[in-house]
Amino acid sequence: MSIPVILDVDTGVDDALAILFAVRHPDIDVLGITCVAGNAPLAQVVDNTLRVLDAAEAPEIPVAAGAVRPLLEPPRSASHVHGADGLGGVALPPTTRRAEPVGAVELMRRLLLEHDEPVTLVALAPQTNLALLLRTYPEVGSRIERIVFMGGSASVGNATAVAEFNVWHDPEAAAIVLDAGVPCYMYGLDVFNHVAIERDVATILEHGDDRLGRVVGALLGHRIALSEDESAEYTGLIGDAGAICAIVDPGALRTQVRPVRVELAGYGRGQTLVDLRRFPGEDVVHGLADEWAEVEIALEVDAERMSRLFLTTLGLGAGADATADAAATAAADLEVER
Ligand code: RIB
Ligand code: CA
């Protein structure tokens, strides 16, 4: 089973992990990657994406630059999370790969029309490119199997108390995508925040013999500048990579199809409102419930199963087992010596 996908990214530490996973997983066929401003400015996102493809020893995969900013909002990069370079300071070698001479919307349209079966769009970033595609060429909707997006939340926010970064960064774009009539799968913070690699494993990978393991370990170990407490800085989240894992192993998640809309006004701007009620309320009874999109929402995840899938796909599963055991032995030895 090979699933054709187009990735839309704002590479980004966790976008990098997602690209590495997608390129390496045998059931994923990456037709192309489109870039958008988000975690970092667009030019940096493109350069990071090309370098990550080198790190993955990926075949030639077309990469195109898209929107330099959201539809309405100014660009607001997440350098406090992903660092000034967007890759958490993980220095990947310069690349000879080059972006396509066409823009993201044109590349997505070409790949969707050329492919012999519908393609899964995987949005791991603000959805500006997808909104522009669907507004410019609405007819490509029939060529899209579904949109799997990392974004939103049925609970806690991150960019604000209630809004997740990708949707908050370009809420109009997210609203346009949900309104386009294409089946959507939301891999939001409800699951995104729970899939992490243990700090010991990341540290040992970073200093191990495996070249890719060193890159993955360094990316996992990047520090979030905001927190004051040193121990709080390590997250180890596989982040966007989880959305790709959800495509190849949907059984690792519990989902529900629920009404969703994007709040566009007030402090809640960028929040994904997810209707989890068992019964309709007065809004429905009195005809006040306007258009909501029916979206498959990932609500729970088997984090250990997904972390294992991530590491084994990158050829790091055995290493992680061995390294974790080695870490435990080393720690025990140290305890003995003290
Ligand atoms: O909220 C997390 C999302 O925002 C991830 O996709 C991360 O890469 C940033 O784009
Ligand atoms: Ca991202």
Whether ligand 1 lies within 6 angstroms of the CB of 12 is answered as: yes
- Contact criterion met (CB below 8 Å) for 303 and 194: yes
Q: Which one of 11, 35, 124 would you pick to mutate in the ligand 1 pocket, going by the greatest count of ligand atoms within 8 A of its CB?
A: 124
Whether ligand 1 lies within 6 angstroms of the CB of 47 is answered as: no
The whole-number mean pLDDT for each consecutive block of 10 residues of the chain, a chain of 338 residues, reads: 96 97 98 98 98 97 98 88 86 96 98 98 98 98 98 97 98 98 98 96 93 96 62 83 98 98 97 95 88 96 98 84 59 50
- Contact criterion met (CB below 8 Å) for 5 and 119: yes
- Atom number, ligand 1, closest to the C-alpha of residue 125: 10
Q: What is the pLDDT of residue 317?
A: 83
CA atoms within 13 A on the CB side of 301: 29
Considering every ligand atom shown, identify the ligand nearest to the alpha carbon of residue 192 and give its number.
Answer: 1
CA atoms within 13 A on the CB side of 197: 35
Distance CA 49, CA 33 (A): 8
CA distances from 157 to 50, 171, 269 (A): 30, 14, 11
Distance CA 38, CA 50 (A): 16
**What's the length of the chain?**
338
Ligand 2 mean position, distance from CA 38 (Å): 7
Ligand 1 mean position, distance from CA 325 (Å): 32
- Hey, what domains does the chain have and what are their CATH numbers? 3-337 (3.90.245.10)
Q: What is the pLDDT of residue 336?
A: 47
pLDDT tens track for 293-302: 999 999 999 9
Query: Which of 253, 251, 254, 256 is CA-nearest to residue 278?
Result: 256
Whether ligand 1 lies within 6 angstroms of the CB of 129 is answered as: no
- 5: its two tokens: 């996908």
Q: Are strands 63-65 and 28-35 parallel, antiparallel or unpaired?
A: parallel
pLDDT tens track for 43-52: 999 999 999 9
For residue 68, the tally of other CB atoms under 10 A from its CB is: 13
Distance CA 82, CA 76 (A): 12
Whether ligand 1 lies within 6 angstroms of the CB of 190 is answered as: no
Query: Which of 162, 153, 187 is CA-nearest to residue 255?
Result: 187
Whether ligand 1 lies within 6 angstroms of the CB of 38 is answered as: yes
Distance CA 39, CA 77 (A): 5
- Contact criterion met (CB below 8 Å) for 7 and 30: yes
pLDDT tens track for 1-41: 799 999 999 999 999 999 999 999 999 999 999 999 999 99
